[in-house]
C-alpha cells in the first residue's frame, strides 16, 4: 500500500470510528464498501489491497456528498516541490554567504565556512542524542523549530483544514435517512480532527525521514554553495588571508586552527602554519598572504565534515522515505482493521453469547443482536448458547461453546446479580481459557431488569457497576454495561471497541 492509499484508509477509519451517529456514513455504506471492494479485488487479494480499494470506493462515495473530504486529503498530501525549493534556496544562500571585505581579505578565524562546520557538528550531536533517546526507550523528542517549518511548508496547517471541514454545507443524503445539519457538521468536524491525529501518528516515520532528507540535502547544498562562491570569486579576484583577534595570540590561533582544519589537512596534505607564520600575517599590520591554501583547507574540511556526512544521511533518509512511501506500514492487527479483514477473509463475524445464571428476556436478545450488528457489521451472526447455571462455571457443559472458534465470544451477565469472584469471576476465566488466539472476548452486563427495579436510583446503578468492574478487573476484563432492552447503540459500540480485549489463548 502506498502513501496516498494509506491516507485514504486512515481517513475512512477516522470517519467510521467517530461517526457513531451514522450522520455521514451509514451502516449500509460500510457494508457496501466492503462488499464492493471484495468483488473488485477478489478473494485471493492481499489484505492491504482490499483495504486500499475499500477506502478508495468509500472516499469516492463520501466525497460526492462531502467535498471537504477531497480537500482534506489534498491538504495532507505532501507538496513535492518544497524539498527542491529549499535545497535551491540553501545553495543560493551559501553562494552569497561569503562576507569578504572591500580590500579582498579573508579573516581565517571568521569565515562563514567555520561557522558552517560548527553548526553541522552541533546538529550531529543533536541527532545522536535523539537516536540514543529512541533506542533507550525514552520519551520521544518532538520536532525542532526547523523541522516544524519544513513540515508546515510541505503540507497545510491542520487547524485550517479543520475549519474548512466545519464550514462544509450541512446536508447529507444517506441510504437510510437524511441527517440533520448540526449532526453532519459535528460528525464531519470530529472525523477531521481524528484523522489529523491518526495520520500524524501513522506517518511519523515517513514524515520524519522526508523532512530529514530535505534538511540533510539542504545543509549539503548550503555548504556546496559557500564553496562555489569562494572558488568562483577566486578566479577573478586575489583574496588575501589574515586574521585579527582581541583576545587570542598567534599561539592560541594556531591551536584553534590545528583542531578545526585537521580533516582538511589530512585530506589535502597541506600543513597548518604555526604561530610564527600566523603572527606574520596578523592584521592590521601584516599584509596577509594569498588565500588559496586556506580556501583549500577549509574546502577539504567542509567536504569531510559537512558534505560527506550530510549526503550519506540524506541518502539513508531517502531510502527510508521511499520504502515507507511505497510500502506504508499500517497496524493491521488494530481491532478496526482486524474486523474488516475478518469479514473479507472469513465472511460474516460470528458472535457466540454465553449467559451466566439468568434467562435472557426476548427484548434483551433483540437488543443484543442490534448491538452486535452495530459494532461488528450488519452481517454479524449471533448465536445464543444455553445459560450456564450458578455453580457450573468451572466445567462448561457440552453445547455451551461452539465447535468452531467464533469471531467474538461474549460472557453475558445480569446487573441484578451480585458479582462474586468464585462464581462470576470463575466463569469469565473459564471462557478466557476456552478461546483460541484471534477470538475476541467480551463481558456484557445487561442492566435492563436492574434499571426497572431501581428506576431513577442512579447511585444504586453506579454502586453495582463498580462491584462488577472490581470482580472482572482481576481477570483482565473490563465489563460493558448496556440496557439491552433499550440499548444506546452508539454508546455500546464505542464501549465495546474501547474495552474488548483483542487476543487470548
For every residue of 100-137, DSSP letters joined together read --TT-EEETTS-HHHHHHHHHHHHHHHHHHHHHHHHTT
Taken in order of first residue, the domains within the chain and their CATH numbers are 1-331 (no CATH), 348-499 (3.40.50.2300)
Provide the residue-wise pLDDT of the chain in tens; the chain has 505 residues: 999 999 999 999 999 888 777 788 888 888 899 889 988 998 788 989 999 999 999 999 998 888 888 888 888 889 888 999 999 999 999 988 865 444 567 888 877 788 889 999 999 998 898 888 877 765 555 667 888 888 888 874 444 333 333 333 333 333 333 334 566 777 788 888 889 889 988 998 899 999 999 999 999 999 999 999 888 888 888 888 888 888 889 999 999 999 989 999 999 988 899 999 998 888 877 778 888 999 899 999 999 999 999 999 999 999 999 999 999 988 887 878 877 887 777 677 889 999 998 899 999 999 999 998 888 877 788 999 989 888 887 777 777 888 888 888 999 999 999 999 889 998 998 888 888 877 888 999 999 999 998 888 889 999 999 999 999 988 888 999 999 999 988 888 888 887 765 444 3
| Bridge partner residues of 383 (DSSP) | 352
Cα–Cα distance for residue pair 17/498, rounded to 1 Å: 11
Cα separation, 4 vs 6, whole angstroms? 5
Taking residue 119's Cβ as centre, other Cβ atoms within 10 Å add up to 14
265-270: long-range contacts at Cβ-Cβ below 8 A with a sequence spacing of 24 or more?
Answer: 265/297, 265/300, 266/304, 267/300, 267/301, 267/303, 267/304, 268/296, 268/297, 268/300, 270/296, 270/297
Q: Are 74 and 154 in contact (CB under 8 A)?
A: no
Contact 1, 56 (CB under 8 A): no
What residues contact residue 323 under an 8 Å CB cut-off, 6+ apart?
none
Distance of alpha carbon 237 from alpha carbon 255, whole angstroms: 29
Amino acid at each position: 500500500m502506498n502513501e496516498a492509499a494509506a491516507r485514504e484508509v486512515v481517513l475512512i477509519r477516522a470517519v467510521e470510528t467517530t461517526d457513531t451517529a451514522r450522520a455521514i456514513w451509514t451502516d449500509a455504506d460500510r457494508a457496501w464498501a466492503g462488499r464492493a471492494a471484495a468483488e473488485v479485488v477478489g478473494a485471493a487479494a492481499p489484505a492491504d489491497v482490499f483495504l486500499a480499494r475499500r477506502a478508495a470506493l468509500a472516499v469516492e462515495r463520501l466525497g460526492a456528498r462531502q467535498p471537504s473530504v477531497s480537500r482534506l486529503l489534498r491538504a495532507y498530501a505532501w507538496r513535492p516541490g518544497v524539498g527542491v525549493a529549499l535545497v535551491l534556496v540553501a545553495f543560493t544562500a551559501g553562494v552569497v554567504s561569503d562576507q569578504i571585505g572591500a580590500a579582498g581579505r579573508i579573516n581565517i578565524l571568521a569565515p562563514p565556512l567555520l561557522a558552517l562546520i560548527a553548526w553541522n557538528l552541533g546538529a550531529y550531536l543533536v541527532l545522536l542524542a535523539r537516536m540514543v533517546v529512541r533506542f533507550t526507550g525514552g520519551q520521544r523528542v518532538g520536532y525542532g523549530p526547523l523541522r516544524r517549518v519544513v513540515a508546515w511548508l510541505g503540507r497545510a496547517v491542520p487547524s485550517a483544514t479543520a475549519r474548512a471541514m466545519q464550514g462544509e454545507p450541512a446536508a447529507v443524503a444517506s441510504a437510510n435517512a437524511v441527517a440533520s445539519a448540526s449532526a453532519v457538521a459535528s460528525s464531519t468536524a470530529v472525523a477531521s480532527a481524528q484523522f489529523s491525529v491518526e495520520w500524524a501518528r501513522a506517518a511519523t516515520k515517513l514524515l520524519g525521514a522526508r523532512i530529514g532528507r530535505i534538511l540533510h540535502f539542504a545543509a549539503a547544498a548550503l555548504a556546496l554553495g559557500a564553496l562555489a562562491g569562494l572558488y568562483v570569486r577566486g578566479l577573478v579576484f586575489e583574496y588575501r588571508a589574515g586574521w585579527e583577534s582581541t583576545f587570542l595570540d598567534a599561539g592560541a590561533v594556531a591551536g584553534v586552527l590545528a583542531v578545526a582544519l585537521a580533516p582538511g589537512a589530512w585530506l589535502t596534505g597541506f600543513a597548518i602554519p604555526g604561530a610564527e607564520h600566523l603572527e606574520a600575517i596578523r592584521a592590521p599590520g601584516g599584509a596577509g598572504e594569498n588565500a588559496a591554501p586556506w580556501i583549500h583547507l577549509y574546502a577539504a574540511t567542509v567536504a569531510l565534515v559537512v558534505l560527506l556526512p550530510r549526503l550519506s544521511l540524506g541518502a539513508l533518509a531517502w531510502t527510508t522515505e521511499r520504502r515507507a512511501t511505497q510500502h506504508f506500514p499500517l497496524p493491521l492487527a488494530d481491532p478496526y482493521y482486524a474486523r474488516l479483514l475478518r469479514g473479507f477473509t472469513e465472511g460474516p463475524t460470528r458472535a457466540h453469547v454465553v449467559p451466566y445464571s439468568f434467562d435472557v428476556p426476548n427484548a434483551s436478545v433483540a437488543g443484543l443482536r442490534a448491538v452486535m450488528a452495530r459494532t461488528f457489521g450488519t452481517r454479524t451472526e449471533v448465536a445464543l448458547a444455553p445459560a450456564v447455571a450458578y455453580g457450573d462455571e468451572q466445567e462448561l457443559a457440552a453445547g455451551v461453546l461452539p465447535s468452531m472458534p467464533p469471531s467474538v465470544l461474549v460472557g453475558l451477565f445480569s446487573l441484578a446479580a451480585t458479582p462474586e469472584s468464585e462464581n462470576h469471576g470463575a466463569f469469565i476465566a473459564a471462557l478466557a481459557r476456552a478461546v483460541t488466539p484471534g477470538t475476541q472476548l467480551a463481558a456484557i452486563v445487561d442492566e435492563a431488569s436492574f434499571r426497572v427495579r431501581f428506576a431513577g436510583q442512579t447511585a444504586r446503578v453506579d454502586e453495582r457497576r463498580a462491584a462488577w468492574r472490581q470482580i472482572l478487573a482481576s481477570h483482565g476484563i473490563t465489563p460493558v454495561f448496556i440496557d439491552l432492552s433499550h440499548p444506546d447503540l452508539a454508546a455500546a459500540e464505542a464501549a465495546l471497541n474501547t474495552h474488548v480485549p483483542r487476543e487470548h489463548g
